[in-house]
Amino acid sequence: MNEQSRIFDFLYHQLQKFPKQDMLAGKINGKYEPFSTQEVADKVNRLAAALLKLGLSGHDMQVEQQDKIAIISKNRPEWLVLDMACQQAGIVLCPIYPTTNINELEYIFNDAQIKHVFVTGEDILDKVNNIKDKVPSLQRIFSFDHMAGADHWDTLIHHVTQEDRNKAEEVKNSIQHHHCATIIYTSGTTGKPKGVMLSHRNLVSNVLNSVDTFPFHENTAARSLSFLPLNHIFERMVSYIYVYSGISIYYAESMETIGENLKEVKPTLFTTVPRLLEKVYERILGKGMELTGIRRALFFWALETACRIALVMLSTNVSS
């Protein structure tokens, strides 16, 4: 068995092999604030101990018995911290899209028997408050930001003792590759949302096979920009490729700020989808259409030249 058999093993692989000063970075007060690999590992371990101290656990590690936590949040460093903390504690994390409507949210919470939820933004908090009385299993609401009506997530780890951490370490060591790590709910477009159970092995095999197949070389100087939703398994899996490969993850503030964040972060790579690239192209083309005279001519000359070069590069790669 590969030494990385559980998802959170990738964190300790990076910590041991190439600890970084900017493993994860998010915008705080208009400036990117980095979190080192050591800081992330410490937060993950303390949060895992805190969750266990709350009475949450994997119990007998049968998925029906594992406690469930929901996260409804934009991409940010705390997202992966919570993800790995839940994994180490044997708790199943259920990510939910912020755009999920009230009825589906209530259904998912009850179907998964969510005990705690972590949110960002007043709008998400309002949604959860609207359904909390209809979800008997829901105990507490935590927020990654300071908001009235929710406990700040940092308060969880303030009272963690060394004994708590020792117990959490024992639980972490007992987690197996076949244990359920997450349940991801479908969009519900063809009926009620359905929960898809994924084990550590499911994600780890994807990460390791992707590293072998695509050019994700170990590169401690590389930066990625993350903007596709972590609620979807694609960006989440890619994030662990970055962690395994020593690539820093910088989080875009929103889909609307991607252009500005690209200028700030200057990423080595990022993952995207065709429709997003089409929208960027349409925006650039729209700006060109507004030009006149020589500036307009230069714009379309540059566009045509870029297209020709792209076709040559594509044909060269195909033939080789």
pLDDT in tens, 306-320: 889 988 887 776 555
Question: Can you read off the two tokens belonging to residue 140?
Answer: 């507490």
Domain check: are 291 and 159 in the same one? no
Which of 147-151, 171-175, 276-280 holds the top average pLDDT? 171-175
Residue 3 inside a domain? The answer is no
**316 against 208, higher pLDDT:** 208
Q: DSSP class of residue 133? A: G
**Phi, psi torsion values for 270, nearest 5 degrees:** -160, 160
Mean pLDDT across 106-125:
96
Structural domain total, the chain: 2
Domain check: are 153 and 192 in the same one? yes
Mean pLDDT of the chain: 92
Q: What pLDDT, in 10s, does the model give residues 211-221?
A: 888 766 777 88
Alpha-carbon dihedral sign for residues 219, 231, 181, 190: negative
Q: What pLDDT, in 10s, does the model give residues 19-74?
A: 999 999 999 989 999 999 999 999 999 999 999 999 999 999 999 999 999 999 99
Q: What share of the chain is helix, strand, coil (3-state, %, to 5)?
A: 50, 15, 35
Domain check: are 168 and 123 in the same one? yes
Distance CA 243, CA 233 (A): 15
Domain that holds residue 175: 9-265
Q: What pLDDT, in 10s, does the model give residues 285-303?
A: 898 999 999 999 999 999 8
**Phi, psi torsion values for 223, nearest 5 degrees:** -125, 145
Domain check: are 242 and 130 in the same one? yes
- Could you tell me where the DSSP H helices lie in the chain? 9-17, 37-53, 77-89, 102-112, 122-131, 162-174, 200-213, 233-245, 258-265, 274-289, 293-319
Which of the four pLDDT bands, split at 50, 70 and 90, describes residue 188? low
pLDDT of residue 316: 74
Under 8 Å between Cβ of 247 and 210: no
Q: Is the pLDDT of residue 180 over 60?
A: yes
Residue 125 inside a domain? The answer is yes
Residues in Cβ contact with 78 at an 8 Å cutoff, skipping those fewer than 6 apart: 26, 118, 144, 153
Question: Can you read off the two tokens belonging to residue 292?
Answer: 């006149």
Distance CA 116, CA 140 (A): 5
Domain check: are 23 and 56 in the same one? yes
DSSP H or E stretch at residue 196: strand 195-199
Q: Is the pLDDT of residue 136 over 70?
A: yes
* 3-state SS assignment for residue 14: helix
Distance CA 44, CA 132 (A): 27
pLDDT of residue 317: 60
Domain check: are 177 and 278 in the same one? no
pLDDT of residue 319: 53
Residues linked to residue 33 through DSSP beta bridges, in sequence order: 26
CA–CA–CA angle 200, 88, 93 (5° rounding)? 65
pLDDT of residue 100: 92
Domain check: are 301 and 217 in the same one? no
Which of 2-11, 173-182, 264-273 holds the top average pLDDT? 173-182
pLDDT of residue 1: 37
pTM, two decimal places = 0.89
* CATH classification at residue 179: 3.40.50.12780
* 3-state SS assignment for residue 260: helix
**310 against 3, higher pLDDT:** 310
Domain check: are 112 and 42 in the same one? yes
